């Protein structure tokens, strides 16, 4: 069963995203902050990371830099689902490639089905 | 600074606060929208979490009303008449409302005040709105452990009664609040030490306390850190 590391700081949204991903047959490791996410990643060895950029203390970009510094996680695909708007996010396109961000969703305009489809697409690519 | 200059400063602060509140409101609306979508996607025998939808809608409305009251109180600040308010009554009411909201966050919310307190000089609706806004912000702080406990606490200090919202926010320091006041409405995460979002509830409470001639500060209560304001006891009633 593919494992998804979900870094979502809001408990309510985290529960909703976890439920929909689990219903689709994925193992989900929810976590609320960047530091704990590194520890959780160590325990669950995720096949995919879904994260919010706006996190307290250490933001999502800091998390990805830290995450990528471990050789075993260099190639894990990362989906950003964030309150950071498309204009703000796309103003720095160079970081997409550098950080291995495979997809970006603007959270307020992203349905659960769109998120699920994005995750399935990435996990199918890995399986192939 | 002339009257026009003062009006411009007030207007500028109002628009920053409005921006902060607008950013904050995306979260409850998103929670409600996705919860409704989840129910549509799941088998029909599962029961919709209407309590979550109702509580989040109520809290979002409460934040909007608190914001509007904050603006109103600030505009009337020079003529604002504070009156003796029973702190116990306001605290009990706020704690009851916030405990419902905290359940949605898998947190507990308790009133940590013992004994009877003298009435304080405040605007009754303003005091309630400020404490609820503060609680709204701090209940949603991501949990350090699986379950967070948040307190509405009050204690006596040399300058009055200190009332606020506390939790296991060990890293919270005065500098975080100072920086947040400079950044709110401009930065996406002005209160990054605690909150990932716009922290509008903190700034709405700040504005209301300022209108009531009080100040929000980082405070400690029974080894818990939080944000609180010092309220002046009513001298008039102390003589009775």
Closest A-chain CA to B172: A57
CB-based contact, B38 to chain A, within 8 Å: yes
Distance from CA of A125 to the nearest CA of B (A): 24
Separation between Cα atoms, residue B54 and residue A71, nearest integer Å: 46
Query: What's residue B4's pLDDT?
Result: 60
Can you tell me which residue has the tokens 């989900």?
A28
For chain B, 240 residues long, give each residue's pLDDT as a single digit of tens: 555 655 565 566 788 999 999 999 999 999 999 999 999 888 766 666 888 999 999 999 999 999 999 999 988 877 788 999 988 889 999 999 999 999 999 899 999 877 778 899 999 999 999 999 999 999 999 887 667 889 999 998 888 999 999 999 888 999 999 999 999 888 889 998 888 889 999 999 999 999 999 999 999 998 899 999 999 988 765 544
- Which residue, A110, A55, A13, A83, is CA-closest to B28? A13
Which residue intervals of chain B are DSSP H helices? 3-41, 50-75, 87-104, 124-139, 174-183, 200-211, 235-238
Tens of pLDDT, residue by residue over A19-57, are 999 999 999 999 999 989 999 999 999 999 999 999 998
Q: Which of A33, A54, A55, A56 to mutate to test the interface with B (most CBs of B within 10 A)?
A: A56
Phi/psi for A29 (5° steps) reads -110, 100
Distance from CA of A14 to the nearest CA of B (A): 10
Chain-chain contact of B31 with A23 (C-beta, under 8 angstroms) = no
Would the pLDDT of A86 be above 90?
A: no
Separation between Cα atoms, residue B81 and residue B99, nearest integer Å: 31
**How many residue contacts between A and B have a Cβ separation below 8 Å?**
75
The pTM is what?
0.90
Phi/psi for A106 (5° steps) reads -80, 110
Task: Find chain A residues with C-beta within 8 A of B194's C-beta.
Answer: 56
- Which residue, B208, B222, B230, B41, is CA-closest to B128? B208
Query: What's residue A8's pLDDT?
Result: 96
Tell me if residue A28 falls in helix, strand or coil: strand
Query: What's residue B240's pLDDT?
Result: 46
CB-based contact, B189 to chain A, within 8 Å: yes
Interface TM-score (ipTM) > 0.90: yes
Chain-chain contact of A57 with B192 (C-beta, under 8 angstroms) = yes
Query: What's residue A88's pLDDT?
Result: 80
CB-based contact, B23 to chain A, within 8 Å: yes
């Amino acid at each position: 069963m593919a494992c998804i590391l979900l870094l979502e700081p809001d408990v309510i949204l985290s529960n909703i995203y976890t439920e929909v991903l689990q219903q689709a047959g994925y193992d989900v490791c929810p976590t609320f902050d960047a530091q704990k996410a590194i520890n959780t990643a160590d325990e669950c060895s995720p096949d995919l990371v879904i994260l919010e950029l706006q996190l307290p203390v250490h933001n999502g970009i800091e998390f990805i830099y830290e995450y990528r510094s471990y050789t075993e996680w260099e190639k894990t695909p990362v989906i950003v689902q964030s309150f950071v708007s498309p204009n703000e996010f796309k103003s720095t396109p160079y970081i997409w490639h550098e950080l291995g961000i495979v997809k970006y969703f603007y959270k307020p305009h992203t349905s659960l089905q769109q998120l699920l489809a994005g995750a399935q697409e990435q996990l199918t690519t890995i399986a192939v | 600074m002339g009257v026009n200059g003062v009006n411009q400063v007030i207007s500028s602060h109002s628009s920053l606060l409005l921006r902060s509140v607008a950013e904050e409101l995306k979260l409850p609306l998103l929670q409600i929208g996705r919860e409704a979508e989840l129910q549509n996607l799941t088998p029909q025998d599962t029961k919709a979490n209407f309590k979550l939808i109702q509580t989040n809608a109520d809290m979002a409305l409460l934040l909007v009303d608190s914001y509007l009251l904050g603006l109103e109180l600030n505009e009337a600040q020079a003529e604002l008449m504070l009156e003796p308010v029973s702190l116990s009554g306001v605290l009990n009411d706020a704690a009851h409302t916030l405990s419902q909201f905290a359940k949605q966050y898998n947190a507990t919310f308790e009133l940590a005040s013992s004994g009877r307190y003298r009435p304080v000089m405040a605007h009754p609706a303003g005091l309630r709105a400020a404490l609820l806004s503060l609680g709204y912000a701090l209940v949603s702080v991501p949990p350090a452990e699986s379950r967070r406990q948040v307190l509405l606490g009050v204690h006596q200090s040399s300058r009055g009664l200190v009332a606020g919202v506390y939790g296991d926010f060990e890293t919270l320091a005065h500098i975080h609040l100072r920086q947040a006041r400079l950044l709110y409405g401009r930065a996406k995460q002005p209160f990054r030490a605690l909150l990932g979002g716009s922290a509008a509830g903190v700034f709405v409470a700040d504005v209301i306390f300022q209108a009531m001639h009080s100040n929000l500060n980082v405070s400690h209560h029974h080894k818990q850190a939080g944000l609180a304001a010092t309220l002046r006891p009513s001298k008039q009633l102390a003589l009775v």
